[in-house]
Chains A and B, each alone.
Chain A
Amino acid sequence: MNEIKTDVVIVGSSLAASGCAKRLVDAGLGVIVLERHELPRHKVCSGILSPRGHRFLFENFGPLPREILHEPTFCKGVTFHFPSMVSIPMDFFGGPTPHLNRRFSDYWAIKRSGAVVHERTTFVRLEDDGKFVHIEAKKDGDEIRYKARFTVGADGPKSRVRQSVYPDYNKRIPWFMVGQKFQAVIECPLDDDYFHFWFHPGLGHYTWSHARNGRQILGVGFPLGGNLHKYHANVERYLREKHGVKLEPAEELEGCSHNFGPSLINRYVFGKGNVLITGQAAGFFNMIAEGMSCALHSGAIAGESIVEAAQSNRPVQQVYRNLIASEVRRCTDQWNPFRIIFGNPHEADFKAALFKLDKKDRKMVLKDIARFLKIYAPYKWGRQMLAQSLIRELKGEYLSGRWL
């Protein structure tokens, strides 16, 4: 059977893929992007992009068209809510950020990257012979083969590319589920301009709400296997009782599973040989629950690495792992307690907001955070995070030996 030959095959067509494709196409390499759906396709996402990601989109893909945004078109910042009923709103440093409609934003970005997209093409498996990567995929049920110098897995948390390189990886990490329901508003005192987040161990690992296109989103994250409806009903009741949020029954719901955790403890997965893993597949996830800006940047770095490796004739993994160190620092610093206390790794100023509170409230908030963190105890991340943070202070960087 004939193989389609190209320089690089990127699996996935979302933002990490676009960042990667942009770098490769600019350098004149042939790029084919495999997307299993037909574009534009739907994607489960809060759509809140950090200012850093917004800048990346501008600089690389040009001015954002109105069509790629939801209503409200922007998000001013994040509001943290605590069980002690203290709420802290924080504005992003860079000003309001886009509320992306992922269906169109991803389509726009991949088109603007200039890469060739093969739609309705599902990645099946790959084989790296050291010189070329041979890829098997399915298009509308028919087998289709590719031969490329490099392959980039930018296919999200349940990455199939990662699976084919590390078959048992998915069994080795804890999985989470996030689900969001869209509900018409009867009464909602939550400020539409902010993304709301609850540090409440009784509600879930990750509980949020924000406005979209006239409806309110209530979302909750919990360990895989939990019941979304139960968690969601609990959150809805809590918001009604404590915040006076009255909503109609849900019209729509969506959810997906998450590989939340690798960025906390510096356990990223970057691939093997000529296969690179990037974006959320590699484990990038920001603390304010935003993965798009680090997806864009890590994707771009994967692309740069291939360009650099091809130019300097060096092993691509070596280059990728050197280049990605800056993005690892950016992302993991956001979870690093020392950086949070002594530095300012986020794009909003939590510390300043905390110090604006009076002493009593501040104490309560700190206690609430400590209590919230306990729900992560079963994963035994605390000690690892602390150790990684210490190494970061001493060596100035995170150890690359922990990456897969």
Chain B
Amino acid sequence: MQIPVIEPGCIPPDPVSPDSLKGIPRQQTNPARRSFENWKDFVGHLRSEGVFVREGKVESSIFVTDAGGLAFGLPHGVVRPNSAEDISKLLKAAQLHRVPVTVRGGGLTTEGESVAFGGILLDMSSLNKVLKIDAKAMTVRTQAGIFWHQLAEILRRDGMDYLSAPLNLTASVGGTLGVGGIDVNSSRLGCSSDQAVELEVVTPTGEIMRCSETENPELFERVLLGYGQFGVITEAVLKIRKFSPLTMQYYYYASLRTAIEDLQMLSKADAADYAGILTILDRAITLLVAFDSDERRKEFEQIWKHKLRGHGELGFGLLMARYYLLRPWKMEEALYIASRRFKLFPEFNRPEFMRDGKIIDRTVVFSRAVWKFWGGRQMVIPDLSAKAEKFVEAVERGNAVCRKYFKYYTLYCVGIKLKGNLPRYEMSCIPQDASDIAYGCEFEPMLRDTDYSRDYLQSFKNEIYDIGVDMGLSYYRFGGMMKGYIRRVFGDEMVDKHLAMKKAADPAMILNPDVIF
């Protein structure tokens, strides 16, 4: 029997029956490791050009999986570039020898997007220098492999701060610009990708190009939120701002719907500098608001505070006590919520990070808390992003799925400000029908030390993603193992349009091959 070879991006008809698996076009989401006959020539070619490929098993085993821990694959070699020129040489040779190149920053993808199924793994963490801080233009020029916490640290020396970054600061700047990057202030400042002013990109054919809204705008719009399909970001110029300590306030809710409606009210009115929802199960819902200045805080307290329907801590505590006293069989849940409250909240105002009641370093405080209370061996955080009107229903449906699969979980909701109607939002995490502000929710089970089979976790994620298909939403991350969803969410016409652009930009389809096509 001859085993047929399937070209990437191609989905042959299913010989079983046209309506099998509900007629949804499926593809292999767990790719096999590719093999190359010309591997030695390829490595030799690169070596002659001064690019070193690390081929040891120990080197490549480090990258066997990503933060999601569901996809596994081994690259044949790892390249740590010293410059954009190295990447250019690598991509030129890769086009010639048709060797796939998977780019990796912090490896915080959850669906295997930064896992290499054979070929080269391009480890961008070697390009991690901040090049220039421009206090006049309020921008920073940095190499793109830098992690956000490193960038924050260097900016702080000049009394500066980034605008918005993902909560998990071990993500790289380049990787974040490629997919979005949502912060608690995104309802005001947009996603991290929208902070980019200018980029240096190595295209899949190996050209080093600069792009911005005025220079090569097409490339700029493709690379931002482009899932790494149209180039490797090597340098980025990002907007920055003056550093300011922040004050935080919490409001507690027992109903998801009310909390989300209040969040949307605040986001729409730009009432707070930071606004988000963080829950313990769907029982204790915290609306978190924070302010960069006392003026903003006072304004909020005058106009908005009394409009919020949330409780103060004491009032909410009494409410919870009544709820659980009437339902003694749920005592375990009550104890969990209480213990979580007493361990987690002090983390946000540890004395070493506070001055005069203000958090002096949100970067440290948030990222510490994220790793300590939500981190684990594996990141399982499927998400949905929706326009304002659909958001409550999406979260409620997702919440029901969490309940079904896990005992303990957290929901995290924020708004994402759109910067107008930009081409980059097409086929991205920004829902296609959204205008002004979109909303996103992450569904995060508390896995702790429990072992779950990959099938169990993937089934959970798929059930969340199915809500997105059903309601016409989008996802922060739709690549990798969920690339099967892309056609269902965006339709064949849109995907084929982007596939055609991809094929034109990357004839051998070598750059990040298993991410979305």
Within 8 A of A (CB), among B450-501: 450-456, 481, 484
Partner of A28, one of B23, B27, B57: B57
| Contact indicator B26/A59 (Cβ below 8 Å) | yes
| B314 at the binding interface (Cβ < 8 Å) | no
Within 8 A of A (CB), among B71-85: 71-74
| Contact indicator B453/A324 (Cβ below 8 Å) | yes
| Contact indicator A65/B30 (Cβ below 8 Å) | no
| Contact indicator B12/A63 (Cβ below 8 Å) | yes
Which of chain A's residues have a CB closer than 8 A to the CB of B454?
Answer: 300-301, 304
Within 8 A of A (CB), among B34-65: 57, 60-61, 64-65
| Contact indicator A66/B15 (Cβ below 8 Å) | yes
| Contact indicator B12/A54 (Cβ below 8 Å) | no
Given contacts A65-B3, A67-B1, A326-B456, contact A60 B20 (CB under 8 A): no
- Distance, CA A104 to CA B65, complexed state (A): 31
Number of interface residues of A (CB under 8 A): 50
| Contact indicator B16/A63 (Cβ below 8 Å) | no
Encode B4-35 as 1/0 by CB contact (under 8 A) with A.
10100001101111011111001111101100
Within 8 A of A (CB), among B371-399: 377
Encode A292-327 as 1/0 by CB contact (under 8 A) with B.
000001001100100110001000000100111111
| Contact indicator A26/B72 (Cβ below 8 Å) | yes
- Distance, CA A66 to CA B452, complexed state (A): 34
- Distance, CA A308 to CA B19, complexed state (A): 37
- Shortest distance between the CB of A334 and any CB in chain B (Å): 16
| Contact indicator B27/A58 (Cβ below 8 Å) | yes
Q: Which single residue of chain A is at the shortest CB-CB distance from B456?
A: A326
Encode B406-440 as 1/0 by CB contact (under 8 A) with A.
00000000000000000000000000000000000
| Contact indicator B28/A60 (Cβ below 8 Å) | yes
| Contact indicator B32/A64 (Cβ below 8 Å) | no
Which of chain B's residues have a CB closer than 8 A to the CB of A96?
Answer: 16-17, 19-20
- Distance, CA A99 to CA B481, complexed state (A): 26
| Contact indicator A28/B30 (Cβ below 8 Å) | no
Which of chain B's residues have a CB closer than 8 A to the CB of A304?
Answer: 453-454
- Distance, CA A158 to CA B374, complexed state (A): 45
| Contact indicator A27/B64 (Cβ below 8 Å) | yes
Q: Which single residue of chain A is at the shortest CB-CB distance from B74?
A: A28
Given contacts A26-B73, A326-B453, A327-B455, contact A95 B32 (CB under 8 A): no
* Contact stretch, chosen from A105-113, A221-229, A349-357, A359-367: A105-113
| Max count, chain B CB within 10 A of own CB: residue among A61, A114, A326 | A326
| A244 at the binding interface (Cβ < 8 Å) | no
Which of chain B's residues have a CB closer than 8 A to the CB of A63?
Answer: 6, 11-12, 14, 26-28
Partner of B16, one of A97, A111, A324: A97
| Contact indicator B20/A95 (Cβ below 8 Å) | yes
| A22 at the binding interface (Cβ < 8 Å) | yes
Which of chain A's residues have a CB closer than 8 A to the CB of B72?
Answer: 23, 26-28, 307
Which of chain B's residues have a CB closer than 8 A to the CB of A51?
Answer: 20-21
- Shortest distance between the CB of A344 and any CB in chain B (Å): 13
Within 8 A of B (CB), among A320-350: 322-327
Given contacts A28-B57, A55-B21, A97-B20, contact A327 B453 (CB under 8 A): yes
Given contacts A114-B33, A324-B453, A327-B455, contact A62 B6 (CB under 8 A): yes
| Contact indicator A301/B30 (Cβ below 8 Å) | no
Which of chain A's residues have a CB closer than 8 A to the CB of B4?
Answer: 65
- Shortest distance between the CB of A330 and any CB in chain B (Å): 9
- Distance, CA A58 to CA B28, complexed state (A): 6
Given contacts A98-B16, A104-B1, contact A54 B451 (CB under 8 A): no
| A40 at the binding interface (Cβ < 8 Å) | yes
| A74 at the binding interface (Cβ < 8 Å) | yes
Q: Which single residue of chain B is at the shortest CB-CB distance from A301?
A: B453
| Max count, chain A CB within 10 A of own CB: residue among B3, B29, B61, B484 | B3
- Distance, CA A108 to CA B117, complexed state (A): 20
- Shortest distance between the CB of A69 and any CB in chain B (Å): 6
| Contact indicator B1/A40 (Cβ below 8 Å) | yes
- Distance, CA A327 to CA B60, complexed state (A): 31
- Distance, CA A104 to CA B452, complexed state (A): 32
| A94 at the binding interface (Cβ < 8 Å) | yes
Q: Which single residue of chain A is at the shortest CB-CB distance from B61?
A: A28
| A73 at the binding interface (Cβ < 8 Å) | yes
Which of chain B's residues have a CB closer than 8 A to the CB of A66?
Answer: 15
| A288 at the binding interface (Cβ < 8 Å) | no
| A25 at the binding interface (Cβ < 8 Å) | yes
- Distance, CA A69 to CA B17, complexed state (A): 11
| Contact indicator B64/A28 (Cβ below 8 Å) | yes
Which of chain B's residues have a CB closer than 8 A to the CB of A114?
Answer: 32-33
| Contact indicator B30/A74 (Cβ below 8 Å) | no
- Shortest distance between the CB of B71 and any CB in chain A (Å): 8
Q: Which single residue of chain B is at the shortest CB-CB distance from A67?
A: B1
| Max count, chain A CB within 10 A of own CB: residue among B23, B33, B451, B484 | B451
Given contacts A55-B26, A59-B29, contact A326 B452 (CB under 8 A): yes
- Distance, CA A319 to CA B451, complexed state (A): 7
Partner of A74, one of B20, B451, B484: B20
- Distance, CA A66 to CA B17, complexed state (A): 11
Which of chain B's residues have a CB closer than 8 A to the CB of A111?
Answer: 3
- Distance, CA A319 to CA B117, complexed state (A): 25
| Contact indicator A54/B28 (Cβ below 8 Å) | no
Which of chain A's residues have a CB closer than 8 A to the CB of B57?
Answer: 28
Given contacts A26-B73, A111-B3, contact A64 B16 (CB under 8 A): yes
| Contact indicator B21/A95 (Cβ below 8 Å) | yes
- Shortest distance between the CB of B112 and any CB in chain A (Å): 10
- Shortest distance between the CB of B113 and any CB in chain A (Å): 15
Which of chain A's residues have a CB closer than 8 A to the CB of B27?
Answer: 58, 62-63
Which of chain B's residues have a CB closer than 8 A to the CB of A25?
Answer: 33
- Distance, CA A28 to CA B20, complexed state (A): 33
Partner of B19, one of A22, A95, A99, A319: A95
Q: Which single residue of chain B is at the shortest CB-CB distance from A318?
A: B451
Partner of B455, one of A28, A108, A300: A300
Which of chain A's residues have a CB closer than 8 A to the CB of B453?
Answer: 297, 300-301, 304, 323-327
| Contact indicator B28/A95 (Cβ below 8 Å) | no
Within 8 A of B (CB), among A47-105: 51, 54-55, 58-67, 69, 73-74, 94-99, 104
- Distance, CA A59 to CA B15, complexed state (A): 16
- Distance, CA A144 to CA B106, complexed state (A): 45
| Max count, chain B CB within 10 A of own CB: residue among A22, A59, A62, A98 | A62
- Distance, CA A25 to CA B117, complexed state (A): 11
Q: Which single residue of chain B is at the shortest CB-CB distance from A61?
A: B28
- Shortest distance between the CB of A106 and any CB in chain B (Å): 11
Given contacts A63-B12, A73-B15, A104-B1, contact A323 B33 (CB under 8 A): no
- Shortest distance between the CB of B448 and any CB in chain A (Å): 12
- Distance, CA A55 to CA B455, complexed state (A): 11
Which of chain B's residues have a CB closer than 8 A to the CB of A73?
Answer: 15-17
Which of chain A's residues have a CB closer than 8 A to the CB of B452?
Answer: 323, 326
- Shortest distance between the CB of B312 and any CB in chain A (Å): 35
| Contact indicator B30/A60 (Cβ below 8 Å) | yes
- Shortest distance between the CB of B515 and any CB in chain A (Å): 16
- Distance, CA A181 to CA B74, complexed state (A): 46
- Distance, CA A157 to CA B452, complexed state (A): 26
- Distance, CA A366 to CA B14, complexed state (A): 38
| Contact indicator B22/A94 (Cβ below 8 Å) | yes
Which of chain B's residues have a CB closer than 8 A to the CB of A69?
Answer: 15-16
- Distance, CA A100 to CA B439, complexed state (A): 45
Which of chain A's residues have a CB closer than 8 A to the CB of B481?
Answer: 59
- Distance, CA A289 to CA B406, complexed state (A): 30
A sample of 15 inter-chain contacts (CB < 8 A) reads A27-B65, A27-B74, A28-B60, A51-B21, A54-B16, A61-B32, A62-B6, A63-B26, A69-B16, A94-B21, A95-B22, A97-B16, A300-B455, A304-B454, A323-B452
Closest 9 CB pairs of A and B: A322-B451, A74-B17, A62-B28, A326-B456, A26-B72, A96-B17, A66-B15, A28-B74, A323-B453
Q: A63-B14, A112-B3, A323-B451 are known; give 9 further A-B pairs, CB within 8 A.
A: A28-B72, A59-B484, A95-B19, A95-B20, A114-B33, A297-B453, A300-B454, A323-B453, A326-B453
